[in-house]
Chain A
Amino acid sequence: MTTTFNRRQTLALGAGAISLAMFGAVPALAKNDAEEAIKKFTGGKTPVQGKVKLDLPEIAENGNTVPMTVTVESPMTEQSHVTDVMIVADENPRSAVATFHFSPASGVAEANTRIRLAATQDVIAVAKMNDGSFFIASKQVKVTIGGCGG
C-alpha cells in the first residue's frame, strides 16, 4: 500500500509532530539519571508540585559554588512532618547532589548548602513526607562557568 500525502495532510502531520515535541519537552529531557533517581526515591510515585521552595540564583557566575536553599512547608509535628528532601541536578555528570534528613526535632524543614553545577540546568528538589506523599519543585540555573571537573 502506498500512501501519498497531499498538501493539507502534510501540514496536519507537521502540526501534530510539533505539538508532540512540545509535550515531550514538558518532563525535562534529562541527560543523566535524574529521573530514575527521583523514581527510586519516591518508589515509583509521582510527586506533586508544591510545598517545596528552592532558592537558587537565576544566573550563577561560578558553577563551582552555587548557594542553594530548600524549604518545605510543613508543621513539622509528630503527625505531619518532612522526613527527607533529595536534591538532583539533571545535567551534572552525576545527578545526585545531596539528601537532607529532617525530623520533628528540626522544627522547620529548611537547609542551605553550596553546590556544584556543571552547566545551565534544572535543579530539582523532591520532599518526602511522613505520610508517604511526595512533593517536587525545580528551578533553572544559568551557569556561566561550570563546576565539576576542569
Chain B
Amino acid sequence: MASKPRIKLDKKEAKKGDLVEVKALVSHVMETGQRKDAAGNTVPRKILNKFTCTVAGKQVFAADFETAVSANPYIQFKFKAQESGTVVLTWTDDDGSTIVGEETITVS
C-alpha cells in the first residue's frame, strides 16, 4: 500500500482546549469478501479494519471498521488540543500492513 492518505486539520495552531477537526481520506478497495468476480469465485475480504489517531503519543480517537465501510474510507472526527506534537493517523489492513499519515499541531 503505497498510497498516501490525505489528511486535513482545520487548524494547524490551536489554543489549549480548542477542538481540532481532522478529516482523512485513504485509498483502499475495502473488499467485502461477498463479491464474486467474473468467473464466479468469491473475491477474498480485504479491508482496513482498524483506525487510530494519536496526538503527541496519546490516543484521542479510534475506530473499528467493518465491511460496511465504503471503499476509500473517509473519516472525520475532532480532538481537544492539549499539547503540541505530531498527529499520527494509522490504518491497519486485514493483512497486518499499516498506512500511516502524519500532521503536526502547535498548541499555545
Residue numbers of A with Cβ under 8 A of B are 64-66, 69, 76, 89, 92-94, 96-108, 110-117, 147-150
Contacts and interface: CB of A to CB of B under 8 A. Distances in A.
Contact of A106 (B60, B67, B75): B60
7 contacts: A66-B70, A102-B61, A106-B77, A106-B78, A106-B79, A107-B79, A112-B75
A107 B68 contact: no
Contacts of A94: 66-68
A115 B63 CA distance: 13
Contacts, number: 103
Contacts of A92: 68
Given A111-B75, A148-B32, A98 B69 contact: yes
A82 to B, nearest CB: 11
Nearest to B20: A107
B63 A101 contact: yes
Interface residues of B, number: 28
A66 B80 CA distance: 27
Main secondary structure of the interface of B (DSSP, over half): strand
B68 A116 contact: yes
Residue in A64, A93, A107 whose Cβ sees the most chain B Cβ within 10 Å:
A107
A105 B58 CA distance: 8
Nearest to A65: B70
A142 B73 CA distance: 22
Given A98-B68, A106-B80, A150 B61 contact: no
A112 B82 CA distance: 22
B77 to A, nearest CB: 5
A98 B55 CA distance: 22
Contacts of A65: 70-71
B29 to A, nearest CB: 12
Given A100-B63, A106-B79, 9 more contacts: A93-B34, A94-B66, A103-B61, A104-B80, A110-B77, A112-B74, A112-B75, A115-B69, A116-B68
Given A105-B58, A150-B35, A98 B78 contact: no
A105 B63 contact: no
Interface string B32-58: 101100000000000000000001001
